[in-house]
Structure formats: structure tokens, C-alpha cells
Amino acid sequence: MELTQVTEETLLKEFQAKIDADAKIEPNDWMPEDYRTHLIRQISQHAHSEVIGMQPEGNWITRAPSLRSKKILLAKIQDEGGHGLYLYSAAETLGVSRDQFIQWLHEGKAKYSSIFNYPTLNWADIGAIGWLVDGAAITNQVSLQRTSYGPYSRAMVRICKEESFHQRQGYEIMWKMMEGTKEQRAMAQDAMNRWWWPALMMFGPKDGDSPRSGTAMKYKIKRETNDQLREKFIQKTIPQAHLIGLTVPDSEIKLLEDGTYSHGEIDWNEFWTVVNGDGPCNKQRLAHHVKYHEEGAWVRECAQAFEDYLTK
């Protein structure tokens, strides 16, 4: 056996022992290449989701129905941009630059969450995004607070605090609309009908069809599987819908004797169509990001010039 092989094996054993003992891995610690590349992919895609996710909500800032709702929406969207920045910073600790992440996004090599490829057609969609989309995001992110990579885990702690405000403001919009006129109730139900299934798709493919889950679970990058998290979200969200008089658009939902709900199955063809780039807004979202990234080049140059001046 060669010396390098022995060293690699020992390092890997020590690394897995740390993971098994629930210790955090930090940027300067030794890590196997498949752990590093897995994290680079997942954290950067998570960051892209936060940033692209600003677009469907941004569509409603100028049309928010009151000054209060406009202020809340502005603050929420700004939070999402901030989440993107923490996550890009966490991903950069793995040795890839932010410019490279953005280039991969623009070249279609990096993904972002399928949910942001659906349009926001009426004000109730802003309620549905806060309640369902942030609600699904939190379910996943609470679990990711215990992820094994230190910088990712710490970013999640702060993000989760902010996301719980987002979830509540979305539920408040839906609840207010359900207490309103017949037309407002119809708008809320329409938003529920359009966002329910895409929100469930955010958790990714079924466990048996999730090629990344093996490595993710072995290295405790993910602490729960896609289906476990999706199920948690379904079970807590159905009663919230019923409480304000909304119908969940799934004819197979049934309350079981043990107090849980059985439910129908996602349309996986739709999921893969959207993930693979052919959803209702994929092209629009990416084109928008490319356009404003290019137009913002001068801002980055100024910031860099100022930084260079300070460090001279």
C-alpha cells in the first residue's frame, strides 16, 4: 500500500468519525472531494433560489394594496436577497468564487428551486408564497440547521428566524382575504389551487428517485430525506388551510384515525419539466437575472475600486 493511500484512508476514517459524532466540519478541515463538491452544488443552488425567488414577489411591490403591505413585502424581498448573500458566502468558503457561481447559473449548469418558475398572477399569490413557499422552505431549512458543514449550518440559523416572519405574513394575507368579500375568497382559493402542488415539489424527487440523497445522508449534509420533510410540511399545512376555510386541491386527502392525513401524488412529469428548464417562467427568470447582472457591472466595479483604494 502506498503512503498517500494510507493517509487518505486514515483521513477519511477520521472525517466520517467526526460526522458520526455530530461534530461540525469547518472550511480549513480536511474533507473528501465528494463532500466538498456536493456542498458547493447544494449551497450555491440554495443561494440562487433565494435570489431568483425575489423576482415573482418583486412583481407586486408597486401594486401592493396598502402602504403597510408594501413595506412588509419590500422588507421580505430584501431579506431573501440577504439570504442569498449569506449562502454565497458560505459556499465561497469551499474555494469557488461568487463570479463562478453566477456564471454556472447563467450557463444553465446550476439549478434553482422549481417553485420560482411559476407566475404571480394576483395579490393572493403573495400570501400563498409567504405561507406555502416560505413554509416549505423553513421545514427544509430547520432540518438543515443541523447540517454537518459549519458555515452552512450557521447561515441556516439566521435564515430560519427571518423565514418564520415571512411564513406568518403570508398566512396573514390569506387569512385576511378569507375574511373578505366573495371575490377576495375566490382569489385566495385560486392562489391555493395554483401553489399547493408546486410547493410540495420544492422538496425534490421521491426518495427512491433522488440520486443525491445517498451522499447527502451519509455525510449528514441532509438530516432528513425529501419525503420525510415533504410529509412534515403536508401534515402541518392542511389544518392551517382548513382553519381559514381554504380547500386543499387534492381530492385524495383524508383524515385518518391516528389524526394524520393521507393524500394524493405529485405530477412528476410536471416536476421534471420545470426542473429541466421548461416551466412557465424559466426563460423569463434567467433572462431577467442575466440582464440586470450585466447592467449592474458598473456597481461591482465601483465597489471593487473602493475596496482596492481602502486596502492600498
Q: CB 30 → ligand FAQ: shortest distance, Å?
A: 23
213 is a site residue for ligand FAQ (CB under 6 A): yes
Q: CB 200 → ligand FAQ: shortest distance, Å?
A: 9
CA–CA dist 12, 16 (Å, integer): 6
CA–CA dist 294, 82 (Å, integer): 20
Of 151 and 204, nearer to ligand FAQ (C-beta) is 204
Q: What residues pair up with 25 in beta bridges, in sequence order?
A: 149
Q: Which of 128, 156, 275, 286 binds ligand FAQ (CB under 6 A)?
A: 275
Please list, in sequence order, all residues whose beta carbon lies within 8 angstroms of the beta carbon of residue 250, skipping any fewer than 6 positions away: 196, 263, 264
Task: Give the x-and-dash track for 66-105 against ligand FAQ (CB under 6 A).
Answer: --------------x-------------------------
123 is a site residue for ligand FAQ (CB under 6 A): no
Site size with ligand FAQ, rule: CB under 6 A = 29
CA–CA dist 77, 208 (Å, integer): 35
Query: Is 276 within 8 Å of 286 (Cβ atoms)?
Result: no
CA–CA dist 92, 32 (Å, integer): 17
CA–CA dist 296, 81 (Å, integer): 15
Q: Which of 86, 88, 111, 135 binds ligand FAQ (CB under 6 A)?
A: 111
Q: How far is CA 86 from the centre of its chain?
A: 13
Q: CB 41 → ligand FAQ: shortest distance, Å?
A: 5
Residues 273-309 as b/e (b if ≥16 CB within 10 A, e otherwise) read: bbbeeebebbeebbeebeeeeeeeeeeeeeeeeeeee
CA–CA dist 138, 5 (Å, integer): 41
Q: Which of 25, 91, 128, 137 binds ligand FAQ (CB under 6 A)?
A: 137
AA identity, residue 99? D
Euclidean distance between the first and final Cα of the chain, in Å?
50
Of 185 and 218, nearer to ligand FAQ (C-beta) is 218
Q: CB 255 → ligand FAQ: shortest distance, Å?
A: 27
CA–CA dist 21, 117 (Å, integer): 39
Q: CB 211 → ligand FAQ: shortest distance, Å?
A: 5
Query: Cell triple for residue 58?
Result: 418583486
288 is a site residue for ligand FAQ (CB under 6 A): no
- Residue number of the CB atom closest to ligand FAQ: 53
Output phi, psi for 261, to 5 deg. Answer: -110, 140
Stretch that binds ligand FAQ, among 92-100, 195-203, 233-241, 291-299 (CB under 6 A): 195-203
125 is a site residue for ligand FAQ (CB under 6 A): no
234 is a site residue for ligand FAQ (CB under 6 A): no
Q: Which of 40, 44, 53, 120 binds ligand FAQ (CB under 6 A)?
A: 53
Q: How far is CA 52 from the centre of its chain?
A: 10
Q: Which of 185, 212, 218, 223 binds ligand FAQ (CB under 6 A)?
A: 212
Query: Is 232 within 8 Å of 143 (Cβ atoms)?
Result: no
Stretch that binds ligand FAQ, among 7-15, 37-45, 231-239, 294-302 (CB under 6 A): 37-45
Q: Which residues bind ligand FAQ (CB under 6 A)?
A: 41-42, 45-46, 49-50, 53, 57, 80, 111, 113-114, 129, 133-134, 137, 140, 201-205, 210-213, 216, 226, 275
